[in-house]
Structure 1
Amino acid sequence: MQVKLMKGETVGTAIAIADVVSFWCAMAIVALMLTGAFRDEQRYSYSLSTTAPVNMLNRRPCDEIYVVGEGETLHTISDKCGDPFIVEKNPHIHDPDDVFPGLVIKITPSSSD
């Protein structure tokens, strides 16, 4: 039994049109997902790693909030970022020799780039 809608359309026709539209919407979403998954250039890193990609280090080596990487010391960070007062500006660092990867510190460079 088909129920008549306005202007002679039936419910079956409306459902068929809705099925076609939903199919093409699903295909568009899949295409967008695949395009995003297989792109070559990835600008964002979603890992919890404490080291940044090399191109990020060349562009801006020291942000105001700095995460200590593997093998870094306060001396090397101070030289790299131009901040000789790291210990004074970070009261949570009780021992300057006890620096570990993942430690978050505040950097205030003395000379701006």
Structure 2
Amino acid sequence: MIAFILLSSIRDGTANDRVRGRQLQDRPCDEIYVVQEGETLHTISDKCGDPYIVERNPHIHDPDDLFPGLVIKITSSNPRSN
């Protein structure tokens, strides 16, 4: 009986993780965004729905000089859709 309860809770936990992951994936980007490895302004703009990232972030002097850990402001005009 105990094994059955443990097995059920493990399966329920993985299902909840999948639902939680889907909810995070479907939400628009946060207002404060931290650039990840391999991202460009174009990919972030597409992902977050903000075509004016450079204009809203005067600390970005060269749009080609993006690096992981750079913090930028995002103003999403529309939520992402998959």
Q: Report the TM-score range of the alignment, normalised by the length of the smaller protein.
A: 0.5 to 0.7
What residue number does 1:94 align with? 61
In the TM superposition, residue 72 of structure 1 has moved relative to its aligned partner by: 0.3
> Larger Cα Rg: Structure 1 or Structure 2?
1
> Aligned pairs, how many?
62
For 2:61 and 2:24, the matched residues in 1 are separated by 27
For 1:102 and 1:95, the matched residues in 2 are separated by 16
What is the TM-score of this pair, normalised by structure 1? 0.48
* SS of residue paired to 1:108: coil
For 2:69 and 2:40, the matched residues in 1 are separated by 12
For 2:31 and 2:60, the matched residues in 1 are separated by 16
In the TM superposition, residue 95 of structure 1 has moved relative to its aligned partner by: 0.2
Amino acid at match of 1:95: D
Percent identical pairs in the alignment equals: 77
Q: Which has the higher contact order (CA 8 A, sep 6+)?
A: 2
Instruction: Please report the RMSD computed on the Cα atoms of aligned residues, expressed in angstroms.
Output: 2.3
